[in-house]
Amino acid sequence: MDPFRYVFYRDRKDWSDLEPVPQDDGPNPVVKIAYSDKFTDVFDYFRALLKSDERSDRAFTLTADAIELNAANYTVWHYRRVLLQALNKDLREEMRYITAIIEEQPKNYQVWHHRRMVVEWLNDPAEELDFIASILSQDAKNYHAWQHRQWVIQEYKLWDSELEFVEQLLEEDVRNNSAWNQRHYVISHTTGFSNKDILDREVQYCLKQIKKAPHNESAWNYLKGILQDRGFSSQPGLTEQVLELKETHCSPYLLAFLVDSYEDTLENPTSNHKELLCKARELCEMLAREKDSIRREYWMYISRSLESRYGLSGNPDSAATV
Amino acid sequence: MAEDENPLAEFEQLDFLRDRHVRFFQRSLQVLPERYSSLETSRLTIVFFALAGLDVLDAMDVIDKNNMVEWIYSLQVLPTEDQSNSGRCGFRGSSHLGLPYTTKGPGVAHPYDSGHIAMTYTGLVCLVMLGDDLSRVNKQACMAGVKALQLEDGSFYAAPEGSENDMRFVYCAACICYMLDDWAGMDIPKAIEYIRRSMSYDNGIGQGAGLESHGGSTFCAIASLHLMGRLELTLSRRELDRIGRWCIMRQQSGFHGRPNKPVDTCYSFWVGATLELLGVFQYTDFERNRNYILSTQDRLVGGFAKWPDSHPDPLHAYFGICGLSLLGEPSLRKVHPALNISHRAFEHLQQLQRAWRDACT
C-alpha cells in the first residue's frame, strides 16, 4: 500500500465517528462553486468539527488541509487559532508555518492577520523586519507587508534602523511611493518635522532625488507634504531653487508645486499680489496647454478659481487666460 | 503593413459590448469552477457585482428575483431564542458553515456562526436592488451586530471573532447604517476621527493612520463622510481641494490607485466616484478614461479585467461598467457615487425609508 496516496477523510478509520456536514444552499443556489471530491470531503469534515467545536489534534491537522485548499476562509483560520490556544501548540512552529504560507500567498488578508496574532501571543517581533523585507524584495509595494511592518514597528518600538531601510529601498527605486510614505511615517514618529535641521535635510533629500529622476510624483508629493502646512515660505530660497530646476528638470509636478507655493503666498496679502496671481495663472495655462494636458480642464478650473479668489476684479474670466 | 499582421490592430475597438456583459454576469450567477474557491466565504459579494452590474446595464429582467431574494435571506444570521448570539448577527457570505437552509428565524445556535460586515452590506444592497422591502431583515439585530464591530479608534472589524480593521469596513458600516436609516450602530464622531487620522501627508487617504494613501481607501473615506452627511462639516474647503487634487492626479489614461503604480480599470470607479463627490470629476479627461476602460473589455467572454489582455472577473466587470456610467455612457443607468448602486435602486430605497418614517408617525 502506497503510504503517500491521499486518503479521503470519509475513508479514514480514525474519523469514522464524525458525521460529515455538507453545504446547503437550498433549492436555488447562487454563484455555486463546483468543488472536486477532495475539496468537498475536507470541508464537509471541517464543518462537522466546527459544529461540535471539537478541540483536538486531528482537528488541528485538518485545518492545514483546509487552508491549503482555501487560505481565504477566515473561519478556518479563526478555528485554527482557537485550537492553537486550546491545545497549547508550539507557536514557533506556527511562525514557520505562517511564514511559508505568506511567501506563497502574500496578497491574502487572512494570512497576515494570523501572523500578527501569533507575533502578539509570542510577544516577539524578532523575525518580523527581516521577513517583511524579504516579502518586499519580491513586491516592494505590497500594501499588506507595509501595513504589517508599520504595526510591528509601532507596537515594539523598532524605529532605529527604519530610515536606513527606507533609504535603501529608495536607492533601488526612487519612485516607490510606499517607501516615501514609510519615510514620512518614520520621521513623524521619531524626530518629527518641526526641527529646522530635519526639515532642511528632508527638503534637500527631495531635491536631490528630483534631480536624479525629475518625473517622480512621489518625491514632489513628499516635498509639498512636509511644507504645505508650515507655509512654503518657511523655506527661504526654495522657490528660486525650484524655478532653476524648471529649466532643466521640469515636470507637471514641479509646475503644480509652483502654483501651490504662489497660492500659499497669495493667501496672505502681499505687495506683489497681482504679479503672483499672474504667474500662477500662466503656470496653469502651461499645464493645461502642454505640460499636463490630460488635466487640461482641471488646470483651467484652477486658474479660474485663483482669479475668483485672489483677483481684484473678481471676474474669473478676466485677463488673457483660460 | 505586413500581410500577416492583424489589420484591426491599428484600431482600438471602442464599442461597448452590452450583451456580452449581460451574459458574463448571468454566467457568474450560475456555477463557477473550483479555481474560484477562494471566493467561497464572499460569494454574496460576487452576487452583488453581478446584480449591480445587470442593474446598471438595465438587464435585471434576466434574473429570477424571487429565488435570489430567498437565497439571500437564507444567509441572514438571526438572533437565537435565548439571544446568545446578539452582537453576532448580520449576513453570512455563503453557506460555508453548513447550517441547514432556512429563510426564517429564530436563529440556530452554532459556536462559529456570525455575520461579516461586508456581507451584511452587500446582502442589504442586493435585497434593495431586487426590489425587496427588507421586512424580513432583523434591523435591530443587524445594528447591534455592526455596533459590536467598532473599535476604540473608530474603525471596524469585519466579524466578531476578530479580523483586520481598516477603511473598507468603515465604509461597509456607513452603508449599512445609511440603508437601514439608523446610525445607532456607529459612533460617528469616532469614525470621523479615524478617517481624519488616515489622511496622508500627500493629501490622499490611507487604510489607516500612517498608511500609504490609496484610491480605494480614499473612496471609502469620502463616500462614508458623504453618507453620514458630514463631508463638508468634517473637511475644510482647503482639505477638500487638496484631496481633489490628489485624486485627479491619479489619472494616467485610466486611473491608478497610488502614485507610480500601473492603472487598473476598477479605479475608474473608486477614484472617479470620489472625484464626482468632490465636484471635480467633470474636469477629468473623459475620452482617455473611456478608451482605457474599453481596452480592458473582454470581447469574447464579456466582462472587464484590470488590464488589457487579462482575464475578466466580476469585480472589474462591475467597476468597469460603473466607470463608464460615470462618463455618461448612453446605455447605462446612473450610479449613486457614494452608495454605489443605480439611481433606480436608490429611489426604491428612498421610498422604503419614507414608508418606514411614515409608519413611525
Q: How many inter-chain contacts (A to B, CB under 8 Å) are there?
A: 190
> Which residues of chain B neighbour A28 with C-beta distances below 8 Å?
64, 67-68, 70-71
- Cα dihedral A265/A271/A277/A282 (nearest 10): -110
- Cα dihedral B63/B64/B65/B69 (nearest 10): -120
Q: How far is CA A260 from the centre of its chain?
A: 26
pLDDT for the residue B8? 54
Rounded to the nearest integer, the mean pLDDT of chain A is 95
Decide if the complex's ipTM is over 0.85: yes
Q: Do residue B210 and residue A33 have CB atoms under 8 angstroms apart?
A: no
- In Å, how far is B8's CA from the nearest CA of chain A? 26
Q: Do residue A218 and residue B210 have CB atoms under 8 angstroms apart?
A: no
pLDDT for the residue A232? 86
Exactly one of A51, A107, A141, A208 is catalytic; which is it?
Answer: A107
Interface probe for A, chosen from B35, B249, B288, B306 (most Cβ of A below 10 Å), is B249
Per-residue pLDDT, averaged over A177-197, amounts to 97
Q: Scanning every residue of chain A, which has its alpha carbon at the shortest distance from the alpha carbon of B48?
A: A31
Q: Which of A227-241, A287-301, B1-15, B274-288 is predicted with the least confidence, judged by mean pLDDT?
A: B1-15
Q: Give me the amino acid identity at A310.
A: Y
- The Cα–Cα gap between B150 and B191 comes to 9
Residue of A6 and B283 predicted with greater confidence:
B283
Q: Does A70 touch chain B (CB under 8 A)?
A: yes
- In Å, how far is A14's CA from the nearest CA of chain B? 22
Per-residue pLDDT, averaged over A16-32, amounts to 97
pLDDT for the residue A313? 66
Q: Are A72 and B41 in contact (CB under 8 A)?
A: yes
- The Cα–Cα gap between B119 and B94 comes to 9
Q: Do residue B112 and residue A50 have CB atoms under 8 angstroms apart?
A: yes
Query: Which residue has 452583488 as its cell numbers?
Result: B48
A32: left (phi over 0), alpha (psi -120 to 50) or beta: beta
Of B34, B50, B68, the CB nearest to A34: B34
Of B37, B242, B282, the CB nearest to A33: B37
- In Å, how far is B21's CA from the nearest CA of chain A? 16
Q: Which of A200-214, A241-255, A256-270 is predicted with the least confidence, judged by mean pLDDT?
A: A256-270
Q: Is A274 a catalytic residue?
A: no
pLDDT for the residue B138? 98
pLDDT for the residue B228? 98
Q: Do residue A150 and residue B162 have CB atoms under 8 angstroms apart?
A: no
Q: Does A150 touch chain B (CB under 8 A)?
A: yes
Of B38, B101, B202, the CB nearest to A221: B202
The C-alpha cell that represents A190 in the structure block? 521619531
Looking at chain A, the whole-number percentage of residues with pLDDT higher than 70 is: 96
Read off the pLDDT band of A231 (50, 70, 90).
confident
pLDDT tens by residue, chain B, 361 residues:
444 444 554 467 889 999 999 999 999 999 999 999 999 999 999 999 999 999 999 999 999 999 999 999 999 999 999 999 989 999 999 999 999 999 998 999 999 999 999 999 999 999 999 999 999 999 999 999 999 999 999 999 999 999 999 999 999 999 999 999 999 999 999 999 999 999 999 999 999 999 999 999 999 999 999 999 999 999 999 999 999 999 999 999 999 999 999 999 999 999 999 999 999 999 999 999 999 999 999 999 999 999 999 999 999 999 999 999 999 999 999 999 999 999 999 999 999 999 999 998 7
pLDDT for the residue A234? 85
Q: Is the pLDDT of residue A4 over 90?
A: no
> Which residues of chain B neighbour A49 with C-beta distances below 8 Å?
none
pLDDT for the residue A268? 83
Long-range pairs, A176-180, Cβ under 8 A, ≥24? A176/A140, A176/A141, A176/A218, A176/B260, A177/A141, A177/A217, A177/A218, A177/A221, A177/B212, A177/B258, A177/B259, A177/B260, A177/B261, A178/A140, A178/A141, A178/A143, A178/A146, A178/B212, A178/B258, A179/A140, A180/A218, A180/A219, A180/A221, A180/A222
Residue of A6 and B223 predicted with greater confidence:
B223
> Which residues of chain A neighbour B207 with C-beta distances below 8 Å?
143, 147
pLDDT for the residue A316? 62
